[in-house]
Amino acid sequence: MQCVTSTAFGPAELLHRLRARTNGTAVSPVTHIERVPAREGRPAPWPTWTDPAVRDALVAQGIAAPWEHQAAAATLAREGTHVVLATGTASGKSLAYQLPALSTLATDPKATVLYLSPTKALAADQLRGLMRLGLDGVRPATYDGDTPREEREWIRQHSRFLLTNPDMLHHSLLPGHNRWGVFLRRLRYVVIDECHTYRGVFGSHVAHVLRRLRRAAARYGASPTFVLASATSGDPAGSASRLTGLPVTAVTDDASPRGAVTFALWEPPLLPTFEDSAEEAPPIRRSALRETADLLTDAVVAGTRTLAFVRSRRGAEVVAALTRQSLDEAVPGLGDRVAAYRGGYLREDRRAIERALLSGELLGLASTNALELGVDLAGLDAVLICGYPGTRASLWQQAGRAGRAGGEALAVLVARDDPLDTYLVHHPEAVFGRPVEATVLDPANPYVLGPQLCCAASEAPLTDADLALFGDAASGIVQRLVAEGLLRRRPSGWYWIHRGRPEVDLRGTGGAPVAVVESSTGRLLGTVDPGSSHAMLHPGAVYLHQGVSYVVDDLDLEDAIALVHQEEPDWTTHARDVTDLSVVNVRSYVDAGPVGLFLGEVDVTNQVVSYQRRRIGSGEVIDTRPLDLPVRELRTVAVWFTVSPQALAAAGVEPSEFPGALHAAEHAGIGLLPLIATCDRWDIGGLSTAGHADTEAPTVFVYDGHPGGAGFAERAYGTAAEWLRATREAIASCVCEAGCPSCVQSPKCGNGNNPLNKEDAVKVLDVVLGALPPSPPAPVMWE
Ligand SMILES: [Zn+2]
Ligand SMILES: [Zn+2]
């Protein structure tokens, strides 16, 4: 039995209390209030095919009857129709696959089920749910990197409900399929949970891992039914079909009940300006982190269970630390009821925190990402979202943690001080009036397909029939792989001819995570992914773990270890980095007078060069200290265009506006690339400059954010006129005055969306489009 602290306040009153802090300011921080109405649940009878033992076990767990959407999806799956259930957080998606899967396991004592989740935490949650049902003969088990060797053999032989992830499938199950032959032969269902997370290059890789799974199952005589669960997303059936390569039916009508949510948009107030400041400085807002910490403090004081989502790991730690501090000042000991939670914590720590929040022992939690949280953590009284999470789909997923049936809840989006967040809190229609984005992936991407075909061939020779499974592009790619000496054609198919297995990293994160170790005790505090390790763990960095502050003594990149000691200085550290791009070669170009269009390889370098120490509280910069960290390089493929300064001037762009105009064109170009390349904007990087050493002209680069490229820049080059015309139209037709997220602002800009010049971006693109030949360009090959 869970003990749930019930708030004494409804959302309106809580919001009123949160607002009280800012009563002295002239402008209310609340820019908009949206009421998301309560929804009545629509139960359905148990499907007639439900196994009685399964039904009884579910009823014993308090599930009186399924909701309509659960019953609909379950029945489709039971009938053998591949189905995706795309409904809101906490709408009970698990039941939709548990029902057909467990009923089948009950009636067919040999059948097996494979469940895939993007995170270990989610698989562990699902395992606990299955264990609680206590059904005989199911023997559910997780199988991941943490599974001890000695348990693996038992699991292979006895588990009939295997919970794993695409990486394990790719690295372990499929290459060792002969040891899994019995399991695969009996495979009836494949469940893909949180399938919207398989997007971009990673999603394209997973799409092929699933095709390899289908091929392996077919070799043993099985053709399982796929059941997918997705957050609410645009075109779930289309995305699920691309992911699995199968026709998939979508169920999207959410019939679960939910309490009303009051959703407030919140803009932190301006800081008071000082009388004696001689110059007129631009006004500065309170930081979103501090504002979120204050709101969390007030919510906890009011006795409400509140979850704060913060975009960065560091930010989550800061919010938790600030909140604990102010609570302890108010009531000594109250700070203990708040914790931080993020990826990189050890599993035991995360579970302990989740349990404490569920029991009411903890009242406040500052967390990084909705997906990292246990699935049970829904139905909270309030959710604070510190900074727009980048997509409406993520926003709704985070807000969805608030609100339980019968109760009312509050969600607050706290704007960061940047143009994108500011725009959103003043344009609620951009948040509430539009459908969520579709999940984008491209299994035909040759940079993904090639390595995946090698993996498939190393598992079993590829036949002509197999190629159809991998899509239209596969036969061409196979020819190329033969020419490159990776595969060999024999009468019985194409063979992988090398000794080891192909080395293919699905996630492309580049290396092992860095372990954070306390030198005096040897205790492992957590891990940091290699991409952020330079910025977070450089010598001198203040590293927060569970609100306790550590200082880094040494970062050993070779062994991927950072040694730290506990210390509480009164400053925070902020790494500064420099990104640069140099052209390695030009594969192809179009010479169009004042405009040049290029495709080639580039080296993108990033170096963390120094860090600032800033006083806690005032944010005053104490000093900037140099660092000696190596440059990190990404060799990838880019498309770029150059425009002569004269042509820009003739179009009415002042030289002082070149940077803002090019930067705005770059952002919009990246935003529009998914139109023609079915990529995801998060897979792409950009760089714009009024003068580049290699091109000697104002230039906009757009590059694939993955080593070796991912095919996106290549497509952009091949359809440049079409791509840039759409970009120009998107900017020109946007009704905003000076740029907004719908046109030139980017949620991932490393320069805080500054400078941007919307009007001049249109002029830049007009010059480019006026000079470029209509699509397709006739390229000049240049070695
Ligand atoms: Zn706009
Ligand atoms: Zn930018």
- DSSP letters of 530-598? HHHHHHHHSTT-EEEETTEEEEEEEEETTTTEEEEEE---SEEEEEEEEEEEEEEEEEEEEEETTEEEE
pLDDT bucket at 747, cuts 50 / 70 / 90 = low
CA 4 to ligand 1 center in whole angstroms:
44
| pLDDT confidence of residue 279 | 44
> How many whole angstroms from 739 Cα to the centroid of ligand 1?
4
Between 45-54, 342-351, 588-597, 652-661, the lowest mean confidence (pLDDT) is in 342-351
Lowest-confidence region among 34-48, 199-213, 331-345: 331-345
- Ligand 1 centre to CA of 284 (Å) is 23
User: What distance in angstroms lies between residue 741's CA and the mean position of ligand 1's atoms?
Assistant: 6
Element (H, E) at 309: strand 306-310
Q: Does residue 679 contact residue 719 with C-beta atoms inside 8 Å?
A: no
So what's the pLDDT on residue 419? 60
Q: What is the maximum span of the chain, computed from C-alpha positions, in angstroms?
A: 86
Look at residues 596, 598, 735, 749 and name the one whose alpha carbon lies nearest to residue 671. 749
Measured from the alpha carbon of residue 735, the closest ligand is 1
pLDDT value at residue 508: 61
Residue type, position 532, single letter? S
Average pLDDT over residues 687-698: 94
Residue tagged 């092992």 (tokens): 512
Is residue 510 very low, low, confident or very high in pLDDT (cuts 50, 70, 90)?
low
Average pLDDT over residues 224-250: 91
- Give the distance (Å) from ligand 2 centre to CA of residue 749: 4
- Comparing 503 with 552, the larger pLDDT belongs to 552
CA of 758, nearest ligand number: 1
How far apart, in Å, are the Cα atoms of 550 and each of 319, 497, 566, 573, 644? 16, 50, 4, 12, 51
Which ligand gives the minimal distance to the CA of 700? Answer: 2
Structure-block tokens of residue 680: 């995801």
Interior angle at CA 702, CA 699 and CA 706, nearest 5: 145
Integer Cα distance of 297 and 320 in angstroms: 9
Could you tell me if 534 and 609 are in contact, meaning their C-beta atoms sit under 8 angstroms apart?
A: no
In this prediction, residue 738 carries a pLDDT of 83
Q: What is the pTM of this model?
A: 0.75
Region 585-602: mean pLDDT is 94
Contacts of residue 748, Cβ cutoff 8 Å, sequence gap at least 6: 390, 681, 682
Q: Look at the block and give the residue holding tokens 């799956």.
A: 77
| 673 Cα to the center of ligand 2, angstroms | 15
Q: Residue 703 carries which DSSP code?
A: E
Mean pLDDT estimate for the chain? 87
Q: Give the highest mean pLDDT range of 126-135, 675-684, 711-720.
A: 126-135
* DSSP run (H or E) holding 298: helix 288-301
Element (H, E) at 155: helix 149-158
Separation between Cα atoms, residue 618 and residue 556, nearest integer Å: 32
Model confidence at 317: pLDDT above 70:
yes
pLDDT at 273 over 70: no
pLDDT in the model for residue 745:
86
Residues with CB under 5 A from ligand 2 (ion): 749, 751
Separation of CA 569 and ligand 1 centre (Å): 43
Interval between CA 490 and ligand 1 midpoint (Å) = 57
Q: What gap in Å lies between CA 713 and CA 717, rounded to an integer?
A: 6
Q: Output the pLDDT for position 617.
A: 67
Distance 668 CA to ligand 1 centre (A): 10
CA distance 217 to 182: 10
Report pLDDT for 171.
94
Report CA(672)–ligand 1 centroid distance (Å).
13
β-sheet with 112-116: strand ranges across: 140-142, 161-164, 112-116, 187-192, 225-230, 83-86, 249-251
Find the range with the poorest average confidence among 113-127, 185-199, 307-321, 670-684: 670-684
576, 647 contact by CB (below 8 A) = no
Q: How many CB atoms lie within 10 A of CB 16?
A: 11
Rounded Cα gap, residues 73 and 576, in angstroms:
50
CB 363 within 8 A of CB 388: no
pLDDT at 4: 38
